[in-house]
Amino acid sequence: MENKQAYHIPVMLKECIDALNINPDGTYVDVTFGGGGHSRAIFEQLSPKGRLIVFDQDKDAKRNAWEAPNFFFVDANFAFLSNHLRLLGIGLVDGILADLGVSSHQFDETARGFSIRGNAALDMRMNQKGDLSAEVLVNTYAEGELLRVFRNYGEIPNARKLVNAIISARSTKPLKTTEDLVTVAEKCAPRHKENKYLAQVFQAIRIEVNNEMSALEDFLHQTEKVMNPGARLVVMSYHSLEDRLVKIT
């Protein structure tokens, strides 16, 4: 297997592997394959009888997959976990890993529009075949829809001010690039907290574009049905929205 950890350095690798308590002959799922760092570490602990199934909807991630009789790459969102396991003829599994959020590769690929650094088309789609992009969202969502996005997914205190600024700006010309959005949003940011504010704005839009919270909830409801007794579910979350949903589901 070629080492492609530069794509995305796996976070808390040892802790994740330890938490999975891997049985070499077991069946494991990494639903956020990305650069394959966590997956490689799992796979290295499996015997030829063990199996690893990985999910990722980002076409860039598939380039990091490898060939092995007991390795399966699923080009899909983890919201469809149980369907794809069934299609593969896999019943119950012994462990599932989810590393939520955006990979460092997606941030570093400026053209994808995930980052406030540089200037690129407003995209933010993890599945680049998706119909809803960040550009479509900021230019077509009504006031109430924008308020919902920024309040619920960005937890932005002055969401109404931001929404009014976006609506005013887009009435003159469409917002097409990350720089366009930053120019509008930074005028609403608290002094000396501009970067944090912009990160929250981009996070909110990204979550809506990729339907992340609904997908996560669907995934979590399926895990119990596809796991063996004593199996482990390991989830890494990076903001309170994900964390609360994981804990209550």
CA 88 vs. chain centroid, Å, equals 23
Domain with CATH 1.10.150.170 in the chain: 128-209
CA 13 vs. chain centroid, Å, equals 18
Q: Check residue 15 and give its pLDDT.
A: 95
Closest of 43, 39, 36 to residue 63, by C-alpha: 36
Q: pTM (2 decimals)?
A: 0.87
Domain with CATH 3.40.50.150 in the chain: 13-104+212-248
What CA–CA distance (Å, rounded) separates 198 from 104? 17
CATH number of 13-104+212-248: 3.40.50.150
Q: Check residue 241 and give its pLDDT.
A: 87
Q: Check residue 105 and give its pLDDT.
A: 57
Tokens representing 215 are 């997908």
pLDDT in tens, the chain (249 residues): 444 445 556 888 999 999 999 999 999 999 999 989 999 999 999 999 999 999 999 888 899 999 999 999 999 999 999 999 999 999 999 999 999 876 555 555 666 777 888 799 999 998 888 889 999 999 999 999 999 999 999 999 999 999 999 999 999 999 999 999 999 999 999 999 999 999 999 999 999 999 999 999 999 999 999 999 999 999 998 878 888 888 887
| 3.40.640.10, 1.10.10.10, 1.10.10.1100, 1.10.150.170: CATH of 128-209 | 1.10.150.170
Contacts for 176 with CB less than 8 Å, ≥ 6 apart: 121, 122, 135
Burial 167-200 (b: 16+ CB within 10 A, else e): bebbeeeebbbbebbbebbeebbeeeebeebbeb
Concatenating the DSSP letter of every residue in the chain gives ----TTT-PPTTHHHHHHHHT--TTSEEEES--TTSHHHHHHHTT--TT-EEEEE---HHHHTT----TTEEEE-S-GGGHHHHHHHTT---EEEEEEE-S--HHHHH-GGGS--SSS--BS---SSTT-S--HHHHHHH--HHHHHHHHHHHS--TTHHHHHHHHHHHHHHS---BHHHHHHHHGGGSPTT-HHHHHHHHHHHHHHHHTTHHHHHHHHHHHHHHHEEEEEEEEEE--SHHHHHHHHH-
- Inter-axis angle of helices 178-185 and 194-209, to 10 degrees? 130
